[in-house]
Structure 1
Amino acid sequence: MNSKPKTTKQWLDNQRDHNTLSQYAQFAVQLRDWQLLFARSLPANLAAECDLLNIRDGKIIVRTRSASAGTQLRALAPRLIKTFCETGTSVHSLSVDIDPSNRSQRRDPTSPEMSRQQRLLRLAEQSSEPLKTQLLKLAEQIANSTKLTPDE
């Protein structure tokens, strides 16, 4: 068995792998659309404290950085569910995970660089090797390309 990672050309030449990559790409676009809708549906101060992680089995899955943000989010749950249902997304509940250790990682949900990096990291979490390694490398390259050096 060859343990070398496949090149992009090899992935695209294999129809089964191409279909898998296509599905991941479609999911990444869908997730970004959901994240943007979610961020726009919240007050700015609350949007800065919350991240939509996924929508699965009719449940909006969100991570917040504080208990107070979680409480506010739960109060807005009926409105959020209605907003998502109006776009054709079938949801019926909201799941809130409170993670105060994530406090320093605030981001602009409309930032395209961060969105690409976040999508790649989430796809990597769900992928098996060697695709997982390649997605993590791409996410790292995006992170490094957005950092400014002191000379700049």
Structure 2
Amino acid sequence: MNSKPKTTKQWLNNQRDHNTLSQYAQFAAQLRDWQLLFARSLPANLAGQCELLNVREGQIVVRTRSASAASQLRTMSAQLITAFCNNGASVQEVSIDIDPAQNKASNRDKPTTVSRRQRLLNLAEQSSEPLKTQLLKLAEQLASSKKLTPDE
């Protein structure tokens, strides 16, 4: 038995392997389209907390960072199913997995010190009007204030 990995040329020359690669490529393209549709179907504050993992066996499989995001997704289930069905996917339900570890992992990648202005901008990004406008104004005031150092 040859345990040496196949080269790309060997994969493409073998018709069976070529068909398998084509199927994976088609699925990857379809999944990317579904992920874009999913992101467009959610409000901005929720889109950053949820990730579409797959669409299979009549289910939209989603992972969230928090129980509150999962709750919001559950209320939007019918809307999501309709959006996917209108785009050719045959789905009947939304399966939601809550993974708080995902949130912790993303926090490890972020710098530990975030400026007050940046925190306001991040919060504004996740908020709806009129709170969003007020937070953006506060962030702008912090940026233009001469009393504050750049780290604040």
1:1-152 matches, cutoff 5 A: 1-103=1-103, 104-105=105-106
Measure, in 2, the Cα distance between the counterparts of 1:42 and 1:18: 37
Measure, in 2, the Cα distance between the counterparts of 1:11 and 1:55: 27
Q: TM-score, normalised by structure 1?
A: 0.68
Give 4+ residue runs of structure 1 displaced > 6 Å after superposition: none
Identical aligned pairs, as a percentage?
A: 71
Measure, in 1, the Cα distance between the counterparts of 2:91 and 2:77: 11
Gap runs ≥5 in structure 1? 107-152
Letter in 2 for 1:31: L
Measure, in 1, the Cα distance between the counterparts of 2:16 and 2:58: 28
Measure, in 2, the Cα distance between the counterparts of 1:10 and 1:95: 39
Measure, in 2, the Cα distance between the counterparts of 1:21 and 1:105: 32
Q: Which has the larger radius of gyration?
A: 2
Helix, strand or coil: the match of 1:27?
helix
Deviation at 1:45, TM superposition (A): 1.1
Deviation at 1:76, TM superposition (A): 0.3
Measure, in 2, the Cα distance between the counterparts of 1:96 and 1:58: 14
Letter in 1 for 2:47: A
Aligned-residue CA RMSD (Å): 1.1
Helix, strand or coil: the match of 1:4?
coil
Measure, in 1, the Cα distance between the counterparts of 2:106 and 2:36: 18
Measure, in 2, the Cα distance between the counterparts of 1:21 and 1:43: 35
Measure, in 2, the Cα distance between the counterparts of 1:88 and 1:19: 23
Gap runs ≥5 in structure 2? 108-152
Which structure's relative contact order is higher, taking Cα pairs within 8 Å and 6+ residues apart? 1
Measure, in 2, the Cα distance between the counterparts of 1:87 and 1:76: 17
Letter in 1 for 2:77: A
Q: TM-score, normalised by structure 2?
A: 0.68
Letter in 2 for 1:41: S
Deviation at 1:46, TM superposition (A): 0.4
Measure, in 1, the Cα distance between the counterparts of 2:5 and 2:95: 37
CA deviations on 1:3-47 (whole Å, 9 max, x unpaired) are: 111010000000000000000000000000000000010011101
